[in-house]
A = this chain, B = another copy of it.
Amino acid sequence: MVIVMDSEATPDHIDGIVDVVTTAGGTAYVTRGVSRTIIGLVGDVQQFETLDLRAMPGVSDVLRISVPYKLVSRENHVSRSVVRVGGVPIGGEHMTLIAGPCAVETPEQTLAAARMARSAGAALLRGGAYKPRTSPYAFQGLGEAGLRILADVRAETGLPIVTEVVDAGDVELVAGYADMLQIGTRNMQNFALLQAAGEAGKPVMLKRGMSATIEEWLMAAEYIAQRGNLDIVLCERGIRTFEKATRNTLDLSAVPVAQQLSHLPVIVDPSHSGGKRDLVLPLSRAAIAVGADGIIVDVHPTPETALCDGPQALVGEDLAELADAVRTLPALVGRTLASAPEPAVAGV
């Protein structure tokens, strides 16, 4: 931690800082520059943070040097993690395709989408039973009935399930059905939900908040990790910018940056940022090429009747092209496509 004094700080101000830091068990190294004095602190940073040094007289700025997240940081955990979801790996040398419908609507639609997903190369099934919607008048999901449909489709196809949970009070219920809990962009800083997910005993996919910095995203992951769960997968899904030609701006730079800062796997959702089917395929290819540990894509047997985000769901020729991309591109960045588990019964 470094304290920058303002240009009118007096020797008394500087002594004041040194005293406070020393009392807190740290050591303060004072460097007097031409126009400013800086003070380097050595010791327990979390202790220093409780001192509110920024409010002390003569202080212009306080610069944090070390990262504020510990458990998810790569600083103390150099090798990158592999998270296993129902036996399917995410991370390491793998590139994992997760696919399925935006929302679970009916058993038939979900099963059809799961089969499309599996034959396109998906190893995990996505599908929402609880949908956070901007408008209270939009379809909000089937709730537990949707979870039961997902479980049936998993039995039939062998694909483990990734599904969203939107309230701390629902975590136990959803974790009873899901192989991986998804926390959505609007809930990235719903701290009660993060903590509940950290205690649920299931891997968690944490979507980046639409206006969250990478640091805040890692801090949110730290909330989950702090409750004893390090099986966390980060998911970049587009950030909010001034550009309106796309629903959000997919920040692919965030993939290598987050992979450098954290040992957690980082995947990409190319469906929700573009909001249009014809962007999903190029962005999926770009996500694989940038080195993502996986991609999560909407597919739907009949997008024109979908209750949620139909315009971006893949089907037919587009899905065939995605299947081709996930089979050819990963090798060029040193990865192999993760395989789906076999179903218990011959369902596919």
Contacts and interface: CB of A to CB of B under 8 A. Distances in A.
Interface of A: 2, 4, 7, 29, 31-36, 38, 40-43, 46, 49-50, 52, 54-56, 63, 65-66, 68-69, 75, 132-138, 166-170, 186-187, 189-193, 210-211, 213-216, 219, 222-223, 226, 239-246, 249-257, 260, 273-274, 278-279, 282-283, 285-291, 303-307, 310-311, 325, 328-329, 332-333
B289 A260 contact: no
A75 B7 contact: yes
A209 to B, nearest CB: 8
Contacts of A193: 167
Nearest to A186: B189
Contact of A243 (B168, B245, B251, B329): B251
A289 B288 CA distance: 8
Contacts of A190: 166-167, 186-187, 190
A31 B29 contact: yes
A54 B309 CA distance: 10
A216 B186 CA distance: 12
Contacts of A278: 256, 260
A132 B137 CA distance: 28
A165 B241 CA distance: 29
Contacts of A40: 2, 29, 31, 33, 38, 40
A132 B191 contact: yes
Main secondary structure of the interface of A (DSSP, over half): mixed
Given A65-B4, A311-B54, A135 B243 contact: no
Given A29-B31, A286-B287, A134 B189 contact: yes
A240 to B, nearest CB: 5
List 7 A-B pairs, minimum CB-CB distance, nearest first.
A211-B211, A31-B40, A289-B289, A167-B192, A286-B290, A186-B189, A285-B289
Contacts of A41: 33
B249 A257 contact: no
A36 B253 CA distance: 26
Contacts of A68: 135, 137
Given A36-B66, A169-B192, A252-B286, A304 B222 contact: no
A304 B56 contact: yes
Given A2-B2, A256-B278, A290-B286, A192 B213 contact: no
B311 A282 contact: no
Contact of A244 (B213, B310, B329): B213
Contacts of A133: 191
